[in-house]
Structure 1
């Protein structure tokens, strides 16, 4: 009796395992959304940095991203339309933030762009491999399979380019000693701090009434704050340096 129950239970578990869809891949709509956003990010970020790069290999790579992903985006949109799936018209908040950082950052941006592209292609390859294997839409699975060699070729190029990308994106290195500011601060550069994080960092440095924070075209958060009862302009750069009394 017990053996019969165990066999029945095992049979049920086995049948459920085959009946449930794979959890390793996105749904068709999820794949289209992520693939489209990733493709748009490649094109937009590459257009922004084209004139902010020093290394010719990276410049050529940026142009290749615009061409290759532009064509891939158009093909994905066509397939999605045939499958009655929605294609996002713009980037999501996190990718838009990355593009905005590139727009506000000062040249050169070789290392920043190379690192960004390495991460983007790792994510894209993971997404496309999973969908090519376990996707739920034949047309999109075929698209994912066809794109993988190109994505992997992009990854190989950017990995080699990143290894020799110029790193002189700021004239003074970040400060390693806590509590001591970089003498050249505030230092221009791609600033990853959100407004909330910038405000919190300034408050932790002993300032109160932090307000009117706005990131300038050099990536520096600027606003006003008070310390010891006195109001003062305050700035926070991408290294975390906080400087008071500067506009």
Structure 2
């Protein structure tokens, strides 16, 4: 058997791994990496918010993030140590970039901080739900399941804060509609700053599975294929966060 034949299955397997959604983490070390980095970002971004936020509700929310995520980070650190797993000591490049954006934001700080928190909690809930269901480490699965209600509570809190704010104008942040806004009849064109991972997460949270072939069109709308109720369908996500099937 030649080298090319031997490498073919490995190449195929690697391609399958790389095709998985970025937020899916069923092995212990990957979960710890993503959960720790996300938790660090929550704490560090909220420390900045304590200094720069204008709205007292945003300051209060930031303090709760520091407290709750600080406790969760400490618990994760302890569990990871017991399981002989490594814990990242600092955010990754993408989160560092977001922290720099917040640090360099002037008077309009509250809006981008809140939008970052909405996206961060969407990703965190997807990560923790996935690992609580299919993770490979019983202790970490229990941690993920125990932490989920707190993450969902945070999401409700930040959605309530966001509902009282005007639509985000910064093209560098996901401009998500407020919870009280009625859903339009179809995707709304506009500058869409959702990443592919965030777009996939929001589509899956809307009840779709097997999301694939996501691409942003000329109107700023993420379009792709998915499955819902056992049927294949096209799917779309606009810059406000509205999800539409059959588009």
Unpaired runs of 5+ residues, structure 2, are 1-19, 171-192, 194-247
Q: Is 2:112–2:168's contact at 8 Å kept on the other side of the alignment?
A: no
Partner of 1:28: 28
1:163, distance to aligned residue in structure 2 (A): 1.4
Partner of 2:242: none
Partner of 2:101: 101
Deviation at 1:26, TM superposition (A): 2.6
CA distance in 2, matches of 1:165, 1:66: 22
Q: Tell me the residue number matched to 1:129.
A: 129
Deviations 1:37-87 (A, max 9, x none): 000000000101212212211110000000000010000000000000000
Gaps of 5+ in 1: 1-22, 171-191, 193-247
Matched-pair contact (CA < 8 Å) for 2:42–2:66: yes
Partner of 1:217: none
Asked if structure 2 preserves the Cα contact closer than 8 Å seen for 1:52 and 1:108, the reply is no
Q: State the shift of 1:102 in Å.
A: 0.8
Q: Which has the larger radius of gyration?
A: 1
Corresponding residue of 1:148: 148
Inter-partner Cα distance in structure 2 for 1:134 and 1:47: 33
Look up the match of 2:55: 55
Partner of residue 40, structure 1: 40
How many residues were matched structurally? 149
Aligned in 2, Cα 1:122/1:167: closer, same or farther, shift over 3 Å? closer
C-alpha distance in 2 between matches for 1:40 and 1:153? 18
Task: State whether structure 2 residue 67 is matched by structure 1 residue 92.
Answer: no
TM-score normalised by length of structure 1: 0.57
Residue-by-residue CA offset, 1:73-113 (whole Å, 9 max, x unaligned): 00000000000000001110000000011111112311111
On the 8 A contact 1:45/1:99 being kept in 2, the answer is yes
Task: Give 1:122 shift.
Answer: 0.1
Aligned equivalents of 1:95 and 1:134: distance in 2?
Answer: 26
User: 3-state DSSP class of the match of 1:106?
Assistant: coil
RMSD: 2.0
